[in-house]
Structure formats: C-alpha cells, structure tokens
Chain A
Amino acid sequence: MKNNIEDLALAYLECRNDLDKKLEIKHKLLDAGMSGQELAELEKVTAGLSELAIPDPGERMTDNFYTMLSAFSNRPAERPSGKATFLQGLVQTNVWRFAAVLAFSLLLFFSGWGAGYWLTPKTDYNRQINSMNTEIANMKTMLTLTLLTHSSPAERLQGIYQAASLDTAQDAVIYALLQTLHNDPNVNVRLVAIKTLQRFADKPLVRAGLVQAISTQYDSQVLLLLADVMLTLQEKSSVAPMQTLLKTRVLESQVREKIEKTILTLI
C-alpha cells in the first residue's frame, strides 16, 4: 500500500494533460490516506522546481574544454598496459636476444644437473642414506624405550605407536613391548601392545610371548583380542594354554565361547 501511494503520487505529478486520469489518481490518493492539502503543496513544489532558473555556462567553459581537448590530442601516443608492453617488447624488439639468453640458460642448467648426476659417487650416496636410515631407526628405538617407561599411559601409548612405525624392531623393543603386555596396569596400553606385537609376529620370540600372555592376562578384552590374534597367526601352540584356561578359570560366557571356537578352529 505504501509503495502504491508513492507510485500514485509520482504518476499524479507527472500527469499534466489528461485531467480525467489525474482526477482518478487524486481520488485514489485521497482514499489511500493522503490529504488534499498535502497533495496541493506537493504539486506546487514540483511545479516550482521546473521553474527554477539555471544560468547558461560561460564561454570560459567552452574555451577550457577545447584547450584541454587540443592538449590531450597532441600528447604522445599512450603507452599500452604493463603486460602488453612486456610481451610486445619481447616479440618485436628483443626476441632473438631473449631466445639466445633462454637457450644458454637452459643449456647451462642441464649441463650442471647432468654433471652433478654423473659425477656424484653412487656408493657413497647409498651408504649415506643407509647410515641415515640406521640413525633414524636407532633414534626411534631410543624414543620408544624411553616412552614405554613413562608413568603416563598416554606417553606409553605414544611409545607403542613409535614402535609400530619401525620397519624392523630390535630385540630391545620386542622385549619392552612384551614387558608392557605382561605388566602394564592399563588395559588400553596392553591392547595396543598386542596389536603392535602382531606386526612383528614373524619373530618366534614374539609368538612365544603372545602365547604366554594367554595364561597371564585376566582382562576379558585382552583375552578376546589374544584369541583373535592366535586365529590370525594360526598359532597351534596356543591351544594348550587356552584349554588350561577353560579348565582352571571362571570366564565370562562371551570369552569362553570365543576361546572354545578358537581352539576348535586351530585343532
């Protein structure tokens, strides 16, 4: 409705010749809430606006314009933009020089690269890499051993993750992981230790340690995971300790079923 008043009022002010139409719009405006006095004042102001005199511009303006135009026309041709200048300069004037410099630079670069590649003694290079790898592995081992002795479970978990990142584990690391599996008070740490030891299960020491853990672990989750690992490794030597476990201990039904199934699969 508000917009309608604005549209109607502007249409009313613009309507000059068609009196019938103007009257019709006026009625609509009055119906819309605009007073007759307000409309008359608005019309007076609008009419007055078109009567306000505007002086003609002086000759000075015209003279100044043509002086400016003349000065602008006589200016030297404008330089194109930066990119265009660079490219045009490259193509038109210095193309051969640029090509020669580029070719020489490329030749120099590839000569240096080739010389470096062929002249570097490969054996030394490989030896250095091996030496660096050994050093990194030693550092990771040291870090693992240090972290595993930490009092915080989070730090010990970090130590086990470090051990898992090793390609080959030294015996010291295996011993430390087995030690953690058998003695760590935190269940999560023991679970992660089992998963990490499984990575190094090609070592008989690890397999023996995992089998031994069946009789030393009391936590249900740990026992379930050990049963899974035994199945994965197809470790038949774990059958005897698992049978002993069934006979000597009161186990949760879920653990008991899992161990029974594992024994049946391994036999």
Chain B
Amino acid sequence: MEPYSDNEVMLLVRNGDLEKLGLLFERYKKPLFAYFYRLGRDLHGSEDLVQNVFLRLLKYRHNFTGYGEFHIWMYQVAHNVFIDHCNRNNRYKAVDDFSGYDLAEEATGDCEIIREEQLQLLEKALLQMHAEKRELLILCKYQQLKYKEIGEILGCSENNVKIKVFRALMELKDIFMQMDKCYEK
C-alpha cells in the first residue's frame, strides 16, 4: 500500500482528522529541528520552535488549499515562526555570543583536531552572518530545497535567490578565512 503524500495527509488534517498530523511530524521533525538549530544553535529553543510550527499548522489548517507543495507551506510557516521569535527576542542579527564553544573539545588525533577546529570556525563564521543570509544557506544546503522553492518560501524570484545564495556564500567564505587567519596567529 502506497503511503499518503504530504498533501493528502494535510488535507485529512484539514478535514478534521487531526491525529494524522503525527505522520507529518515524524516526517519533518528532524529537518525542521535542523533548520532552527542551524539558525540559532539553541537545542531547547529549536525544539520549542518546531512545536510552534506544528501548532500553527493545526491552527491554520483551513488555509491549506492542497494546490501547492506541503513542505513549501510548512517552511513558510517555519520562516514566520523564526521571524516572530527573533522579533520577540530582538535577535534577527548575527549571534555574537560564543561562550558555549570550546575549540578543542572532543578532538582526538592531529588531523581530527584540525578538521574539528575548522568546522567549529565555520560554525562560528556562520553564526556571525545576518540571520537572513544564514537562513538562505540553511534552506539551500541543509534542507536540500531548490532555488525556486526557496523563492516561494521567502517571497522572491529564483534568480534573486541564486544571487543572494552566492553572495551569502562569498560572505561566509570571507568571514571564515579572516577568522582562520586570526586563529593561526
């Protein structure tokens, strides 16, 4: 028996079979958690935001028409949840607090240490970017969304998304290389 598509499940939820939302939760809890975690690097905060997304999907289930892709709609909701969260906490900007980071933690061999250090630097560089640009890279690199889909989520054209992603990558590269130089010194 073929499993229900996302749209079919969401239409069932819209028509009153609320329990079916569990199916969508199981399918998307990890990607959504990764989305929020990469945006803010806050474990418990990300869990709460995932919960908020599903609460909104329930609350506004009547708005789901079934014509578009479910995951686009879901990421639009997630994007709004994140913006609301940032507005509440005044944090829609670069994260400057790296107090939770220890550059040498969990490293074992020399190569492994260097690799870990590089990844941690990259993570720092990512967190130094403006959240809007960080979100673009996350949608593109972690959620494996197409440029067109990202455009639908963020309300801009495919070409515009490509330009923004390229610029965000260039900025990330510059921040990372600068931090790398400072670290070497």
Assembly CA distance A10 to B141 (angstroms): 12
Tell me whether B166 is interfacial, beta carbon within 8 Å: yes
Assembly CA distance A46 to B29 (angstroms): 25
Pick the contact of B33: A46, A61, A69 (CB < 8 A). Answer: A61
Assembly CA distance A38 to B38 (angstroms): 25
Interface segment, one of A49-57, A85-93, A173-181, A198-206: A49-57
Assembly CA distance A54 to B122 (angstroms): 14
Tell me whether B152 is interfacial, beta carbon within 8 Å: no
Check if A10 sits within 8 Å of B162, measured CB to CB: yes
Check if B50 sits within 8 Å of A61, measured CB to CB: yes
Assembly CA distance A42 to B171 (angstroms): 10
Tell me whether B128 is interfacial, beta carbon within 8 Å: no
Check if B46 sits within 8 Å of A57, measured CB to CB: yes
- Contact (A52, B123) CB under 8 Å given A57-B47, A68-B55, A73-B19: yes
Check if B118 sits within 8 Å of A62, measured CB to CB: no
Check if A55 sits within 8 Å of B37, measured CB to CB: yes
Give chain A interface residues in 33-91, CB to chain B under 8 Å: 38, 41-42, 45-46, 48-58, 60-62, 64-66, 68-69, 72-73
- Contact (A45, B43) CB under 8 Å given A10-B162, A57-B50, A61-B50: no
Tell me whether A6 is interfacial, beta carbon within 8 Å: yes
A38 contacts across to B, CB distance below 8 A = 173
Give chain A interface residues in 1-53, CB to chain B under 8 Å: 3, 5-7, 9-10, 13, 38, 41-42, 45-46, 48-53
Return the chain B residue nearest A49 by Cβ: B141
A5 contacts across to B, CB distance below 8 A = 166
Return the chain A residue nearest B164 by Cβ: A6
Tell me whether B51 is interfacial, beta carbon within 8 Å: yes
Tell me whether B139 is interfacial, beta carbon within 8 Å: no
Check if B30 sits within 8 Å of A42, measured CB to CB: no
B162 contacts across to A, CB distance below 8 A = 3, 6-7, 10
A72 contacts across to B, CB distance below 8 A = 18, 55, 58
Pick the contact of A56: B19, B30, B50, B137 (CB < 8 A). Answer: B30
Check if A69 sits within 8 Å of B50, measured CB to CB: no
Check if B46 sits within 8 Å of A45, measured CB to CB: no
* Category for how many chain A residues contact B: 20 to 34
From A45, A48, A72, residue with most partner B Cβ within 10 Å = A45
Check if B46 sits within 8 Å of A49, measured CB to CB: no
Give chain B interface residues in 125-181, CB to chain A under 8 Å: 125-126, 137, 141-142, 159, 162-163, 165-167, 169-170, 172-173, 176-177
Return the chain B residue nearest A9 by Cβ: B166
Assembly CA distance A125 to B76 (angstroms): 70
Check if B122 sits within 8 Å of A52, measured CB to CB: yes
- Contact (A57, B176) CB under 8 Å given A6-B162, A42-B170, A65-B54: no
Tell me whether B119 is interfacial, beta carbon within 8 Å: yes
Assembly CA distance A103 to B28 (angstroms): 58
Return the chain A residue nearest B115 by Cβ: A51
Interface string of B97-127 (1 = CB under 8 A from A): 0000000000000000000001100110110
Give chain B interface residues in 1-53, CB to chain A under 8 Å: 18-19, 21-22, 25, 29-30, 33-34, 37-38, 43-44, 46-47, 50-51
Check if B141 sits within 8 Å of A46, measured CB to CB: yes
B58 contacts across to A, CB distance below 8 A = 69, 72
A56 contacts across to B, CB distance below 8 A = 30, 33
Assembly CA distance A103 to B77 (angstroms): 50
Task: Give 9 nearest A-B pairs by CB, closest first.
Answer: A61-B47, A6-B166, A57-B33, A48-B122, A54-B34, A45-B173, A73-B18, A49-B141, A41-B173
B-side residues, CB < 8 A to A, are 18-19, 21-22, 25, 29-30, 33-34, 37-38, 43-44, 46-47, 50-51, 54-55, 58, 118-119, 122-123, 125-126, 137, 141-142, 159, 162-163, 165-167, 169-170, 172-173, 176-177
A-side residues, CB < 8 A to B, are 3, 5-7, 9-10, 13, 38, 41-42, 45-46, 48-58, 60-62, 64-66, 68-69, 72-73
